[in-house]
Amino acid sequence: MIRIFGILAGLFFSLSVLWAFISGAIAVAPVLGEYGQFTEPMADKVFHEKHPPALHLQSDGPFGTWDLAQLQRGFQVYKEVCAACHSLKFVAFRDLEELGYDKGQVKTIAAGFQVPGVDPNTGEATTRPGMPTDYFPSPYPNETAAKAANNNAVPPDLSLMAKARHGGPAYIHAILTGYGPEPEALKQQFPDFKVPSTGHYNKYFPSLAIAMPPPLTAEGQVSYAEGQPKPTIEQMSTDVSAFLEWTAEPKKVKRTQTGWPVLGFLLFATILAYLAKKQVWAALKPKKKHTA
């Protein structure tokens, strides 16, 4: 009876996995364009969106580790470029110690930001220099101000962006490097396509038109310390993408490093349980009858 129940349970699980795979394939198939490029509707038309190219980081894979130097460069790009429009509301200044900064450096970094506060004398809302226990503030006092400064578009918070977008860091890197003029081939294929006056063409963004202007526009826009890679647009985009992967999943490397000993223990426990089972049931096995 137990064997039959186990077989039925395994069959049910297998069929569930197969059904999930088939359902996913059916859902994705209609939006796949030529050469596997995704398509997105815009203005009742369908325009091609190039799939972000792969981005290889040191943190990739089951044995990945954080490249602290790269994460510090990525934070520098965020602080000097991205922080003008985007917040990191789920990241505290003290979390930067995980990137290799000491307490004094973290205190200095925090003091360079203005965070919301309250005047102790009047009780009115004000701002004050940040402290290590504070979280990265929004550059705008409220959503209305954010819309007014960005053509009625609110810049998204970047804390979890690497988890919120398909492709993660590769998507972020692709967006930062995907700006350019509209290709003539696109205009010929879709004569009605036109990037809005308040938008910018980006070959990796769904609908190909993005409200955000190019944040990284020139080599050396951020000055790296001596001995660091040359701050090209490609390098700066890669570094800030790696940093945003860390903000979205700061425990990623620790989790994978912890997982290997756990898997080893489970394997050992499985083998031990199997041997115990053999030992316990050995005496209850029916003896073979010897025939003359």
- 67 φ/ψ angles, rounded to the nearest 5 degrees: -95, 95
Give CA angle at 95 (89, 98), nearest 5°.
Answer: 140
Query: Total structural domains in the chain?
Result: 1
Question: What CATH number should be reported for the domain holding residue 48?
Answer: 1.10.760.10
Q: What is the pLDDT of residue 271?
A: 93
- Start-to-end Cα distance in the chain: 35
Residue 259: C-alpha distances to residues 57, 107, 252, 253, 270 (Å): 20, 33, 11, 10, 16
pLDDT tens profile 163-183: 999 889 999 999 999 999 988
Residue with more model confidence, 279 or 266:
266
Is 86 annotated as ligand-binding? yes
DSSP 107-153: HHHHHTSEEEEE-TTT--EEEEE--TTSBPPPSSSSHHHHHHHTTT-
Is 236 annotated as ligand-binding? no
Residue 14: inside a domain, yes or no?
no
Strand-pair partners of 118 = 125
Q: What is the pLDDT of residue 13?
A: 54
Residue with more model confidence, 48 or 115:
115
Going by pLDDT thresholds of 50, 70 and 90, the confidence category of residue 35 is very low
Residue 270: inside a domain, yes or no?
no
Residue 260: inside a domain, yes or no?
no
Residue 282: inside a domain, yes or no?
no
Among 157-161, 194-198, 208-212, 247-251, the minimum mean pLDDT is found in 194-198
Residue 216: inside a domain, yes or no?
yes
What is the arithmetic mean of pLDDT over 45-72? 84
Residue 86: inside a domain, yes or no?
yes
d(CA 283, CA 82): 71
Residue 281: inside a domain, yes or no?
no
What is the arithmetic mean of pLDDT over 111-137? 90
Domain hosting residue 227, numbered range: 26-91+136-253
Is 48 annotated as ligand-binding? no
| Identity at 161, one-letter amino acid code | M
- Residue 65 CA to its chain's centroid (Å): 16
d(CA 114, CA 138): 9
Is 82 annotated as ligand-binding? yes
